[in-house]
Structure 1
Amino acid sequence: MSSQRPTLADVAASAGVSVSTASLAFSGAGPIAAATRQRVLDAAQALGYAGPNPLGRQLRRGRSGIVGVIVGDALRRAFRDPVSIQVLDGITSTLGPMGLGVLLIAGPHDPTDPPVDPLVELAAMDVAVMMWGGTTDDPVLSALRRRGIPTVLVEGSRHPDISVIGIADRAGIADVTRQLLGLGHTRIATVTLPFTNDRSEGLVDAARLDALEWELTRRRLDGVFDAGVQPVAIWETPASLVEHGASAARALLAGPDRPTAVVCQSDLLAAGVVLGARELGLQVPQDVSVVGFDGLDLPWFKPDVLTSVAQPLAEKGRAVGREVARLLEGEPPQSLDLPVELVWGTTAGPAPTV
């Protein structure tokens, strides 16, 4: 007996039909008698033929069946962030039932890295998802455009030819900042996400502010300005991790002229600021109020609960998946902003009265 795997042609010959008829029997489409279909399936079972290669079928349709998901950081850091995990879960739970796989590609996360991963340039993918707010001249976005790959940006700036799934983060940050003003705070600092791919850390001066490239960081910083606040200090972090929030707290809260409130652009940064403040002997919220963004459930942070602007993380991922499906059907790109909600916890002081 031949050691080669049986082919569709072998099945067709055994069933006494043409290859095209055998193909129709497996696809379930087209004019084919039930008895003929059963004869083909019986022949396939006898030969141990499992069915047409799904990759070959996809390629014949001009598709790979793959969605490239480009995260904005090293995977070792992205998978420490519950925000990334929950959005990815929403994406994959939507794409899986469509028969689509996901190729994870790390984004630029170190100044020495090439601006575009070779997989972005070469890997087969039907649609790309960029998991961070790209800029108009982002090299990754430019590479995808050159390849003609439909792209969905998560929290990106608006482009006429790109789908964007975003949230009302600027308005949410403005809302929570106004609440801090209502509590009597006049010295408010902010701890931000990265400004650029070089991932600097430290106080932001005018020159650094002019160099701000990341749209997500810009919108959330603009939310503070929209509330009528000129921060007494802006501290940039290299990533949304607890340790970077703690470092920010140690730098911002050690002096006599420290801020009395800190607006953080993520919950992990906010949790780090709370921990860092307590290292300095400060009480939260009595000595310093801290607010975050994301609305994460952080069991290790209990009994404290962050005051935060909550975003619908899983739904955002599902919305990305639905937009991928639209693009695969040839629909034009569209953009969507999901609502956010202020959740009052224990880290900012008394809850606002309605």
Structure 2
Amino acid sequence: MKNEKKLTLKDVAEQLNVSTATISNAFNRPDQLSAKLKESILSRCKEMGYYGPNAAARSLRTGRTGIVGIVLSDELSYSLSDPVANQFITGMAEVLEKNNYNMLLLSASELSSDSQRRMQSSMVDGFIVYGYKSQQYRDAPWLDKSKNVVVVDSHIPGASSVNVTNEQGAFDIAVHALQHRPQSVAIMGLELLETDRVCRIFDDELLDADTSISIQRLHGYRRALEQNGMQISSEQIWNIPHNTHKLAYQAAREALMMANRPQLLLCMSDRIALAAVQAALHMGMRVPEELHVVGFDGIPESDTFHPSITTVHQQTVEKGRIAAEMFLGLRPSCNVELQTKLKVGLSCPAVNSSTA
């Protein structure tokens, strides 16, 4: 059998009289070429026995894999169904695809063994960590300073971060809602405690504010209440362990069955607010006439639901874009904080338009 030399990208480019970039685009970024040119190049390459650039060889040559590990704080099944996480992933994908980079989705909760962590670390050029919780991942590979790491919705010492003004956003929406002068208020908190139970809170059990966006939102609510001369006890603050309709509905019903029933629910996500409104309607309450409800996130469903949800819009897609650009070196590595924006819906309208 004839021992033929294996074709390289350069060999093929010379034989077809085109640039190496054109050959690479035909295999990796076909949208950059006309359909006719792409088909011509792929057909000629097949005749020559060339089946594309060798990714493994390229990795050995450059020391890069072309893959970024996207570390999600929750299980993948939950993260992919969560509208906020989904928007964040979409923003990253837009930038990474344009720059010929791939994503490896990882669930931080599933990286339990040392061998798993070492394997995952060797497969990627670095990590974009979404929703880092310091109490969960003390030996995580993304804490390795030799790796490129960008953190979103949290902070890791020495790593660049992308966050939103959670405390200020919570303060702004609470100030808006408190203009209705409710006699009683309840907070529907999200992951305030390290527990899987729907329960009331105790301040000495709260997670670290630096790594918990929910604690930051709680601070914003409390600041607005204090500014309005109101105090809120732990009996009026619920911990919802996961951002799901079922658990939020359970917490909202418990709150609305209190003897001193709240006239305002400050919810730490739009999913919680949607469940709370549904619970109130099922209990025969009118929203907003008898109960005002506000959320946080600005997911599409908060607009289409009736009554529409008054919420805090955070730039979730933009967070993903910025994190990816920072990881790729397309923007300076630094700590970015994006502004939130109050979005008034029917669940808690402006005072001059309220029917309450």
Question: TM-score under structure 1 normalisation?
Answer: 0.80
* Larger deviation, residues 83-92 vs 185-194: 185-194
The 1:70/1:230 distance shift into structure 2, 3 A limit, reads farther
1:319 is aligned to 322
Are 1:241 and 2:244 matched, yes or no? yes
Letter in 2 for 1:129: I
User: What is the CA distance between 1:47 and its match in structure 2?
Assistant: 2.3
Are 1:223 and 2:220 matched, yes or no? yes
User: What is the CA distance between 1:287 and its match in structure 2?
Assistant: 1.8
User: What is the CA distance between 1:252 and its match in structure 2?
Assistant: 0.6
Q: Deviations over 1:165-196 (max 9, x none)?
A: 01111101001111122111242211112135
Is the 1:187–1:260 contact (alpha carbons within 8 Å) kept by the matching residues of 2? yes
2:137 is aligned to 139
The 1:351/1:151 distance shift into structure 2, 3 A limit, reads farther
Query: Within 5 Å, which residues of 2 pair with 1:273-352?
Result: 273-298=276-301, 302-326=305-329, 333-351=333-351
1:258 aligned residue (254, 257, 261): 261
Task: Provide the rounded CA distance (Å) in 2 between the counterparts of 1:268 and 1:280.
Answer: 19
The 1:248/1:118 distance shift into structure 2, 3 A limit, reads farther
The 1:129/1:268 distance shift into structure 2, 3 A limit, reads same
SS of residue in 2 equivalent to 1:294: coil
Task: Provide the rounded CA distance (Å) in 2 between the counterparts of 1:266 and 1:197.
Answer: 18
Task: Provide the rounded CA distance (Å) in 2 between the counterparts of 1:67 and 1:5.
Answer: 36
User: What is the CA distance between 1:304 and its match in structure 2?
Assistant: 1.7
1:151 aligned residue (149, 152, 159): 149
The 1:7/1:230 distance shift into structure 2, 3 A limit, reads farther
Letter in 2 for 1:146: D
- Gap regions ≥5 residues in structure 1: 29-40
2:20 is aligned to 26
Letter in 1 for 2:72: V
SS of residue in 1 equivalent to 2:295: strand
Task: Provide the rounded CA distance (Å) in 1 between the counterparts of 2:4 and 2:310.
Answer: 61
Q: Deviations over 1:31-57 (max 9, x none)?
A: xxxxxxxxxx99966522134313321
Task: Provide the rounded CA distance (Å) in 2 between the counterparts of 1:166 and 1:256.
Answer: 38
User: What is the CA distance between 1:62 and its match in structure 2?
Assistant: 0.6
The 1:279/1:150 distance shift into structure 2, 3 A limit, reads same
Are 1:187 and 2:209 matched, yes or no? no
CA RMSD of aligned residues (A): 3.5
The 1:263/1:56 distance shift into structure 2, 3 A limit, reads same
Task: Provide the rounded CA distance (Å) in 1 between the counterparts of 2:112 and 2:193.
Answer: 12
Question: TM-score under structure 2 normalisation?
Answer: 0.80
The 1:10/1:226 distance shift into structure 2, 3 A limit, reads closer
Is the 1:120–1:144 contact (alpha carbons within 8 Å) kept by the matching residues of 2? no
Letter in 1 for 2:263: T
Task: Provide the rounded CA distance (Å) in 1 between the counterparts of 2:207 and 2:64.
Answer: 42
Is the 2:164–2:337 contact (alpha carbons within 8 Å) kept by the matching residues of 1? yes
Task: Provide the rounded CA distance (Å) in 2 between the counterparts of 1:10 and 1:89.
Answer: 32
Are 1:268 and 2:268 matched, yes or no? no
Letter in 2 for 1:154: V
Letter in 1 for 2:20: F
Count of residues in Structure 1 that have an aligned counterpart in Structure 2: 326
Q: Deviations over 1:199-228 (max 9, x none)?
A: 332111234336778521111111112212
1:32 is aligned to none
Task: Provide the rounded CA distance (Å) in 2 between the counterparts of 1:116 and 1:226.
Answer: 42
Is the 1:131–1:153 contact (alpha carbons within 8 Å) kept by the matching residues of 2? yes
**Percent identical:** 24
User: What is the CA distance between 1:313 and its match in structure 2?
Assistant: 1.5
Task: Provide the rounded CA distance (Å) in 1 between the counterparts of 2:320 and 2:143.
Answer: 22
Letter in 2 for 1:127: G
* Larger deviation, residues 114-123 vs 229-238: 114-123
Is the 2:9–2:20 contact (alpha carbons within 8 Å) kept by the matching residues of 1? no
Query: Within 5 Å, which residues of 2 pair with 1:67-106?
Result: 67-106=68-107
